[in-house]
Amino acid sequence: MHNNLASRLQGSDLSCVRDDRILFEELCFELNSGQVLLLEGENGSGKTSLLRILCGFREPDAGQVLWCGHAINDSQYYDDMAYVGHLDGVKKELTVLENLKVSLALGQRGQYSIAQALLKVQLADFEDALVQSLSAGQKRRLSLARLLITHNTLWILDEPFTSLDKQGISLIESLMTEHCKNGGMIILTSHHDIALPSVDVQRILLS
């Protein structure tokens, strides 16, 4: 379970300019515990730029991001947030188990053990497999197992369904639902429509 059941992320008057082109401006939103924020829009509309701002990888051109009422750089935001991007962020020269042990060493322990997480993402028989031998879908599942073994209130996911089959997609949707029911929050971009019937899903359309 998540200790902080009253977490809140706010974007206040956010603007982003790239190559003299305004991607978005005066963007405001509020995300609370148990909610999902889905960022929608065509390629080039600013979805990844907004994710990068929300992860703290770049500053907004105007406005600010607040975590529990404080600027993200002045809070414990980076301890509470986990990001999974287009690249799976796993080390291909290590085994599945070694990758998860590295993640655990860098973060707070979550509600799942490594064995439980591997079972959950259907990689239980792959502990000793080198990551470079895995399929693209299996690497994606491994990157999601990292979220289960560490404690993070906010998940930021850039196209999490890439490389996954229907079974993999429904697996991730069940993990997302469970995370929100435990007081977590999720921001994601997706070209797939998501099926989270029991979760409060907010949407931002960037154009």
Q: Tens of pLDDT along 120-149?
A: 999 999 999 999 999 988 998 999 899 999
Name the pLDDT band for 207 (thresholds 50, 70, 90).
Answer: confident
> From CA 157, how far away is CA 162, in angstroms rounded?
11
CA atoms within 13 A on the CB side of 139: 20
Give the integer Cα–Cα distance in Å for 206 and 23.
Answer: 8
CA distance 93 to 34: 36
Residue 24 has pLDDT above 70, yes or no: yes
Which position has the token pair 């299996």? 138
| pLDDT given for residue 174 in this prediction | 93
What is the radius of gyration, based on Cα positions, of the chain? 17
Contact 168, 128 (CB under 8 A): no
Q: What is the pLDDT of residue 105?
A: 86
How sure is the predictor about 192, in pLDDT bands with cuts at 50, 70 and 90? Answer: confident
| The two structure tokens encoding residue 63 | 């406005």
What digits encode the pLDDT tens for the residues 55-98? 999 999 999 999 999 999 988 999 999 998 876 668 889 999 99
Residue 3 has pLDDT above 50, yes or no: no
User: Is the CB of residue 9 less than 8 Å from the CB of residue 56?
Assistant: no
Nearest to 48 by CA among 149, 186, 201, 187: 187
* Domains of the chain listed by start with CATH number: 8-89+151-205 (3.40.50.300)
pLDDT level of residue 193 (50, 70, 90 thresholds): confident
In Å, what is the CA distance from 192 to each residue of 36, 82, 86, 160, 179? 15, 21, 15, 10, 20
What pLDDT shows up at residue 1? 39
Whole-number pLDDT of residue 28: 97
Look at 103 and 4; give whichever has higher pLDDT. 103
The SS3 call for residue 202 is strand
Q: Six-digit token pair at 62?
A: 């105007």
**pLDDT (tens digit, 9 = 90+) per residue, 106-121?**
878 888 999 999 999 9
CB neighbour class for 78 (10 Å; exposed up to 12, middle 13-18, buried from 19):
middle
Return the pLDDT at 2: 41
What's the pLDDT at 4?
45
What's residue 88's pLDDT? 63
